[in-house]
Structure 1
Amino acid sequence: MRVYTGLHRGSSHKNYCEDFLLTIPISKQIFVGMVADGCSAGKHAHFASAFQCKLMRKVICTNTFIQKDIPVQLLANRLLLSWMQDLKYFKQEMLIPENELLSTFILLIYNAETKQAYVTALGDGGVLINQDLHEIDQNNCPDYPIYHIEDSEEEWLDYFNEQSFLIEVPSQVGIATDGIFSFYHTQNIREIPESKFADYLMRDTSLKDYEDMIQQKIYILHAQFAAQAYDDIAVIRLLFDNHLEIKVF
């Protein structure tokens, strides 16, 4: 399994990248990744996304229910339930107002023992399943996790499973914040459709021999195709089939 990540500040944000990401191999069998997207309309959006990823790392490092043969959906639900409980606790203990915790995220879990991947999307973004890139769009009205802080555990589970994907024996899988779909041409160059840029970062397997594949591709889009992202980007890609070849352009 190869893991690729990328974090990039979009042109609309002058001071901070408001996205964040987490990658943490729990064991030789289980990998967890998370991309978070802070709300620009909130306060300290960069803090909100970073805090939520750090909180997930704390949940992972302090729980004992993680076993190599645990089903990925069950593990995801247990992690998310613990995460919501901690979010509620720390919000109260640290007196953090709601508008400083406005961030969505997408969670990815892969279990090498069962060869299953599971993705839970709590907000907009992109989800790569094998050769297909799916765009999740909530029409600029994201249902932030913090809005559900006072719900019951049963309501939390319903919320977690609204947008989820179970992938059996994937060849590749990936998650990204919605900035992946915000590329535009900075010059009058129309050789490559703007709709292809997300595929280039998420589906294309060229440069797969380089650990910084995502960052290299962002640079190539800027230098060779005069394209840049309007919104921030956080990307995590897992490639399992070393012989998989997908060329976008």
Structure 2
Amino acid sequence: MNIYSALQIGDYHLNHCEDFLITKSIGSHKILCAVMDGCSTAMESQFASALTGKILRKIALGKNYEEMYRTDNRNTIEEELKDILKQLFTEILKVKNILLLDEKELLTTLILLLYDQKENQGIVLCIGDGLVCINGKITEFENGNKPDYFTYHLKEDFEDWYQNQTQIIIFDDLQDISIATDGISTFFKVKKADTEESIDPMNYICIDHEYHDSGEMLFRKLKKLEHRYGMKPTDDLAVIRIIK
């Protein structure tokens, strides 16, 4: 199984890439992946996405130790993801209070992917906008550019909030999966192309298998889109792809 990832600043952004991503193993057979997209109209939104990613990395490390010393964990894949998300809420609220952060400093979308290689099953939860592609089937989540950021709900009852989440996909028999921030849909011809051929950047990044034998597959695809087809994402892009 190969895991690829790429992060690219959008062509319309000058100072910071406001997206962030992580991939982290949990135990010997689980993988946690996440992509975040900070709110451009908020305050220092690159901080919100990076902070969320760093906290998720910490949670994954804690889960790793649990997997090493516990043999009786019978949680379902959804229960595992729910617990990770609940810990994220707790940690974000703790940091908010310690640093006296404004809510506008914590706004970021979040796509969480948890995959169990042993059971060959997984779950994806999208909070806000983004894209999920499972075995060639693309699902785009779009909220009219007004995502319901999870940090709006930090002080609410977590169980009540979680029950209202509808952007959840549970899957099995995985062959190929991608998760990406909504920058995946913003490719635009920004310079003269080397060819008159047309290409669908979304399909090329999430479905096409060119360069799959290289760990830099996604970066090579992004460079080819730029230099051969003259296309770059105008918004920041974070993408993770797993191919079995």
TM-score range, shorter chain: over 0.9
Gaps of 5+ in 2: none
Residue 43 of structure 2 is aligned to residue 40 of structure 1: no
Residue 152 of structure 2 is aligned to residue 147 of structure 1: yes
Aligned to 2:229: 225
Aligned to 1:60: 60
Aligned to 1:176: 180
Q: What is the TM-score when the length of structure 1 is the normalising length? A: 0.91
Matches within 5 A, 1:105-120: 105-120=110-125
CA distance in 2, matches of 1:27, 1:212: 25
Structure 1 residues 10-42: Cα deviation after superposition (integer angstroms, max 9, x where no partner):
111101110000110112200000000001101
Deviation at 1:117, TM superposition (A): 1.5
Aligned to 2:51: 51
Gaps of 5+ in 1: 241-249
Matches within 5 A, 1:51-130: 51-63=51-63, 66=67, 70-130=75-135
Asked if 2 retains the 8 angstrom alpha-carbon contact of 1:133 and 1:203, the reply is no
Aligned to 1:191: 197
Deviation at 1:71, TM superposition (A): 2.0
CA distance in 1, matches of 2:239, 2:185: 12
Deviation at 1:90, TM superposition (A): 1.4
CA distance in 1, matches of 2:155, 2:168: 22
CA distance in 1, matches of 2:119, 2:6: 27
CA distance in 1, matches of 2:120, 2:62: 25
Asked if 1 retains the 8 angstrom alpha-carbon contact of 2:25 and 2:60, the reply is no
Deviation at 1:188, TM superposition (A): 6.4
2:217 to 213, 217, 242: 213
Q: What is the TM-score when the length of structure 2 is the normalising length? A: 0.92
CA distance in 1, matches of 2:27, 2:103: 34
Matched residue pairs, number?
237
Moved more, 29-38 or 86-95: 86-95
SS in structure 1 opposite 2:148? coil
Deviation at 1:156, TM superposition (A): 2.8
CA RMSD of aligned residues (A): 1.6
CA distance in 2, matches of 1:59, 1:208: 30
Asked if 2 retains the 8 angstrom alpha-carbon contact of 1:81 and 1:156, the reply is no
Moved more, 214-223 or 52-61: 52-61
Letter in 1 for 2:100: L
Letter in 2 for 1:179: G
CA distance in 2, matches of 1:188, 1:44: 33
CA distance in 2, matches of 1:123, 1:157: 14
Runs of 4+ in 1 over 3 A off after TM superposition: 63-70, 187-191
Matches within 5 A, 1:233-248: 233-240=237-244
Aligned to 2:167: 163
Letter in 2 for 1:56: L
Deviation at 1:69, TM superposition (A): 5.6
Deviation at 1:85, TM superposition (A): 1.3
Asked if 1 retains the 8 angstrom alpha-carbon contact of 2:130 and 2:141, the reply is yes
Structure 1 residues 97-133: Cα deviation after superposition (integer angstroms, max 9, x where no partner):
1111010110001101110021000111110110111
SS in structure 1 opposite 2:55? helix
Deviation at 1:177, TM superposition (A): 0.3
Q: Percent identity?
A: 32
Deviation at 1:77, TM superposition (A): 0.4
CA distance in 2, matches of 1:143, 1:28: 34
Matches within 5 A, 1:3-18: 3-18=3-18
Moved more, 50-59 or 181-190: 181-190
